Structure 1
Amino acid sequence: MSEIAVVAISIAKPGCEEQLRVALEGIVAPSRAERGALQYDLHRDLREPRRFVFYERWESEDALAAHGQSAHIGAYRKQIADWIEHSEIRVLKKIM
């Protein structure tokens, strides 16, 4: 198994920034407590305040897959469905 990183970007629909921010903040603590979570940090773009970015580090792809199937992530996805304009997830492996 090898460590992986994730960059997850969510862009709120206009007027939904604060609802999305609260929902995103709500998944930080339970995600950090998951087995295999090494880092789970939420950021907000200074120049585009509708853009939120997670930088995550996981022990393995299996740990990331379990995170994606967790109850709190499932509930979060249902909660934010109407607030998201665009989202993108990149799974990365460090090469140097």
Structure 2
Amino acid sequence: MTLIEEIRSRLSALEPIQLDIRDDSALHQGHAGNSGGGHFFLTIVSAQFSGKSPVMRHRQVYAILGDLIPQRIHALSIQAFAADEHQPATNH
């Protein structure tokens, strides 16, 4: 199982209606302080985030992925939306 597959599998506990994971590791190779873990950008939309502050949403994600940090995940950027807040991008 790849790391992205593991992240996706673990975050399924939040029952996301959208989950996008982008691996930006190649953009950060060799920078100071990186002990080898990857850099990821995460967008997640879940009804479980309804009524919760952005900090609480991030805490939910970190509670699920925390043991992967910092060995396998060096940096994680999170955009977390409640289902009623996020409008999917449309092509015009």
Please classify the TM superposition score into its range, dividing by the shorter chain length.
0.3 to 0.5
TM-score for both structures, normalised by structure 2: 0.43
User: RCO (CA 8 Å, sep 6+): is it higher in 1 or 2?
Assistant: 1
